[in-house]
Structure 1
């Protein structure tokens, strides 16, 4: 049977040679999927707007497989496998099957390798039976892996067809997880060049499970869609402008961007990325519970990755287990960033959070004034491309790959030529001055953590993820941030609008965002909020989350 993947918006076309290569890759993927896991034509040809119920309703998963994928997080799975309540084989089977179902309605995978996962899971079950103990804290836990992260025996790319290569060894973080007992079964989508807040790539367009006419975010697009579809419990994200927090927020899950070089990124981008001359990337977990974020970081830090990679900062991880209430805990609320007032559902989510936070004894809630967002965003957009976008165009030319609209959008402010070493140094000086000024601004506000929007609205319509203000700003100042789900969802078109106090646009960008709001249909899109702490205050960030967890009803 043919494997049809839902695609409501077509992609730009490249040269005939390029299109032939892409078709061969997609055909090879499809050939690995058995007929028993292909969705009926009635679903893929006429999908519902919200596809989150498809895995449960399609009839391809057994009752036990539904329970395994819907009732456990990573911590729960590890416990159930260790106690022999579940087998690693049963868990791998359930998640691999659910993942390929999710792919057919969201286009979230670049590779699917169930047979390999089952072989690994059987080895783990045999080991537990023979030795009476697990290999490690992730024994049998399935982990999904973003395409550009090296996984032995599988393909990586840096978002361009000409960079697609077969890896012989694991990246450092992947190796740590493998040694801890993890089972790998899929690789997930990312956008062209890994630099969009939408997962649109050679493999197709990754869709938002709650509304397929909306983006799933980016660049860690496939992870977010897959986890929201319960086809994964734990995924590895990377973030240089919002690539963990954006898709996590669009899809209503958790995402943690640590301070740079708190967690390892060795072998994630062989040859490096010019943007990191002045804006360092981070890596972190994407998942459905707060304790899974904690587990992800603990497993890595317990492996002492800084011994292998001395770039890493060896601050011990305390996380949720050692969290002690801070009295008073001062939470700053940034209602908007001074450049774009968020769309109505985001304001509604902030109001919900404030109503809960003000009821917590020992928590002080105060307004937080934004700081020169436009200056910071202008700086980071230029810093991403010190070569003026030359490498982007060279990658495209190498295979006849088309430039996607959002690729043109992200390089346009930097186009005009290589700025050279003097230009990079000037950007570094300006960045450091900005960080010093922002640190003073934060201190003057007298807060421990900041609560703010994750994005200018709910998940955006396809090809409209233009404004990264609420995430990329914190990459520029290198602050850790967590996005977490709220009970708020976008209402049907026309059901709500900007409040009277927010009726007047405050910038040209704000005017554009309001036009996008008036035009779009965001019904059903979940709303995440973002909590941020100072650089290297990653433990304090989790301590604050633990302190407000119960009041906010966070899983």
Structure 2
């Protein structure tokens, strides 16, 4: 399909493009039993018969470091690894609708090229040699469409790679699929008129989150060892929390964004950033270090000239990591988290204290003011950006993510703003500048507040990191994700932030909380949404909030938390079996 087809009505254009996607799937990879009756489809790749024993071994290896080692010593070829993950990605696509661009031969040709170089020279091409990497449908690749959820963008082929893709090639990676996003990108849900809705593989009645929801569902099903998404208000962290993944939201301009497409381009007060999504804690450091070591500031003029610092990774500015002092934000004063999130925080506190670290309470500081300021900046154009892109094709602007056949009523009506912010309207340049001034003042206020915690930590330093929910609940039914209150704080303050999995919902443990005095309409609606049976078995993750430009330290502290949780689980398991 080409841009000349724009004379067709938008529904026809969308249907033709979706059919072209279906036609790009190799016929021998088609599932004939889609198990439409199953809500949880996590076990389908193991049982469907499309993957050989070796392909299952490859794709069930979630540790990125292990995969790279096997690729570098030729135990596994890049062709075999790429084909295995591609097949599993196609299985995930048929079950959760997580992909956009499918280009099998192109990816396999790249993998073969890498295998040939390693065989001929005995040397890997780079730190990501032979590794398949999935990309959110914003990262342009030469010769491929970047539709980004808009019908008008069908037939818009990229003339060059974005900087990230250039650098992935230089690092030896194999970009192999692109993944689904919501129309406008500014949703915590993934649905558009071209490719449809992405579901959560743990329960297909529930959302995989957004806007990097396609990546979330794909990586959760082990259809990719490492994916790259973006985050402007939680778009990496929300799907990672809903799908049981690790991720890192870096600070503004630490990693290269140039050449990628985006919504709200020109809005530069709160920058969108890119980051990895993976089942592997090792994947965070491997990806970030590989990109930074490639000196992205030489290709993207906005990237900060800051080399990877092993000193910072070893927590030189955090007492060497022994002991650390974390603060837990049990409640942000806007919406109270659901019982499984509370239990996850209790578990994390216990694990860290058992490992010798200190944990204190974090009292939210001007949280709602920060949220209102950010959301108002996002809608300062009165929605003109969204309307303009939709009007190019005539497609309607999506104003609700509720699934018509889901049977749930919306708990909060939130087209682009919520009840706490009010209706959007077009701000003048002066009004926008005033918002920017307010944001700077809020950042200074929050910095001072954080620094003042030095009097409470007992380490002689301020709090090393803040642990909180990324979202107030586990994955929810389609269209009901309204909470970005916990995540947006980090985008506005530009705090480097990770998400890590902790546990899963357990109906035996996660009983509904007693009613409380609600902060606002949203808090009441979130409280009423909880039903432990609905969420049974869904992943529960938390976020770790660090300081600005602290990627190395946040990655290391996340590793420390992850190790503490796993060690505590091991001890508890051994105790239970005695």
TM-score, normalised on structure 2? 0.88
Other structure's SS at 1:156 match: coil
Please tell me whether residue 86 in structure 1 is matched to residue 76 in structure 2: yes
Deviations 1:124-159 (A, max 9, x none): 111111111111111110000111111122111343
Measured after TM superposition, the shift of residue 162 of structure 1 is 1.4
Contact 2:332 2:367 in 1 (8 A): yes
239-248 or 439-448, which moves further after superposition? 439-448
Distance 1:231 1:47 in 2: 21
Structure 1: how far apart are the matches of 2:293 and 2:270?
A: 27
Aligned to 1:465: 481
Which stretch of structure 1 is more off in the superposition, 304-313 or 476-485?
304-313
Q: Residue 490 of structure 2 aligns with which residue?
A: 474
**1:107 Cα offset (Å):** 0.5
**Compared CA separation, residues 518 and 231, structure 1 to 2 (3 A):** closer
**How far has the Cα of 1:507 moved from its partner?**
2.6
Residue number in structure 2 paired with 1:541 = 554
Q: 1:345 to 1:234 in 2, by over 3 A?
A: same
Pick aligned residue for 1:55 from 45, 60, 65? 45
Partner of 2:416: 410
**Farther-moved stretch of structure 1 (187-196 vs 276-285):** 276-285
Establish whether residue 157 from structure 1 lines up as the match of residue 147 from structure 2: yes
Asked if residue 196 in structure 1 is aligned to residue 209 in structure 2, the reply is no
Query: Do the aligned partners of 1:191 and 1:198 also contact (CA within 8 Å) in 2?
Result: yes
Partner of 2:14: 22
- Counterparts of residues 246-257 of structure 1 (less than 5 Å): 246-257=238-249
Decide which of 333, 352, 355 is 1:357's aligned counterpart.
352
Aligned to 2:499: 483
Question: Which string of whole-angstrom CA distances, capped at 9 and with x for unpartnered residues, describes residues 455-496 of structure 1?
Answer: 01101210011120110111011101000011x21235x974
Contact 2:63 2:281 in 1 (8 A): no
Task: Give the aligned partner of residue 284 of structure 1.
Answer: 275
User: Would you say 1:182 and 2:179 are equivalent positions?
Assistant: no
What is the CA deviation profile of residues 320-377 of structure 1, one whole-angstrom value per residue up to 9, with x for unaligned ones?
994253233110011010111101110011111111111122x111001012222222
Partner of 1:423: 431
Distance in 2 between the 1:507 and 1:415 partners?
Answer: 17
Residue of structure 2 in register with 1:452 after alignment:
468
SS of equivalent residue, structure 1 residue 33: coil
Q: How does 1:42-191 map to 2 (within 5 A)?
A: 42-44=33-35, 46-164=36-154, 165-191=156-182
> Which residue number in structure 2 is paired with residue 443 of structure 1?
451
CA distance in 1 between partners of 2:262 and 2:336 (Å): 38
The corresponding residue for 1:338 is 333
SS in 2 for 1:399: coil
Q: Which runs of 5+ in 2 are unaligned?
A: 1-6, 402-413, 455-462, 570-578
- Write out per-residue CA displacement over residues 275-314 of structure 1, whole angstroms, 9 at most, x where no aligned residue: x332111111111112111010111111111122232112
Query: Aligned partners of 1:395 and 1:319: how far apart in 2?
Result: 44
Alignment TM-score, normalising by the size of structure 1 = 0.92
Aligned to 2:297, the other structure's residue is in SS state helix
User: 2:289 maps to what in 1?
Assistant: 298
Superposition CA RMSD, Å:
2.2
Kept after mapping to 2: 8 A contact 1:329/1:448 = yes
Contact 2:181 2:210 in 1 (8 A): yes
Q: Quote the Cα distance in structure 1 between the aligned partners of 2:532 and 2:396.
A: 27
Q: 1:330 to 1:271 in 2, by over 3 A?
A: closer
Please tell me whether the aligned partners of residues 244 and 286 of structure 1 are also in contact (alpha carbons under 8 angstroms): yes
Are residues 406 and 479 of structure 1, via their aligned partners in 2, closer, same or farther at CA, if it must alter by over 3 Å?
A: farther
Report the counterpart of residue 259 of structure 1 in structure 2: 251
Deviation string 1:137-196 (CA, Å, 9 cap, x unpaired) is 111100001111111221113432213421121110111011111112111001111111
User: For residue 31 of structure 1, what is the aligned residue in structure 2?
Assistant: 23
Q: Which residue is 2:324 aligned to?
A: 329
Distance 1:472 1:529 in 2: 14
How far 1:105 sits from its partner (Å)? 0.5
Which whole-Å CA distance do the structure 2 matches of 1:410 and 1:87 have between them? 46
Q: Is the 8 Å Cα contact of residues 75 and 295 (structure 1) preserved in structure 2? A: yes
Matched residue SS, 2:172: coil
Matched-pair contact (CA < 8 Å) for 1:338–1:372 = no
Provide the rounded CA distance (Å) in 1 between the counterparts of 2:273 and 2:493. Answer: 13
3-state SS, counterpart of residue 544 of structure 2 = strand
Deviates more, 1:152-161 or 1:279-288: 152-161
Alpha carbons of 1:95 and 1:319: their partners in 2 closer, same or farther (altered >3 Å)?
Answer: farther
Tell whether the 8 Å contact from 2:338 to 2:530 is kept in structure 1 after alignment: yes
Cα distance in structure 2, aligned partners of 1:404 and 1:75:
40
Tell me by how many angstroms 1:391 deviates.
Answer: 2.0
User: Aligned residue for 1:4?
Assistant: none
Structure 1 match to 2:575: none
Larger mean CA deviation between 209-218 and 303-312 belongs to 303-312
Deviation, structure 1 residue 382? 1.1
192, 210, 225: which one aligns with 2:217: 225
What is the SS of the residue equivalent to 1:380?
A: helix
Asked whether the equivalents of residues 234 and 286 of structure 1 are also in contact (C-alpha less than 8 Å), the reply is: yes
C-alpha distance in 2 between matches for 1:51 and 1:119: 31
Displacement of 1:540 after TM fit?
A: 2.2
Contact 1:250 1:525 (8 Å CA) reproduced: yes
Of 206, 217, 222, 2:198 maps to: 206
How many residue pairs match? The answer is 534
Give how far 1:406 is off.
3.9
Q: Given the alignment of the two structures, is residue 370 of structure 1 paired with residue 364 of structure 2, yes or no? A: yes
1:215 aligns to what? 207
CA contact (8 A) 1:291 1:320 kept: no
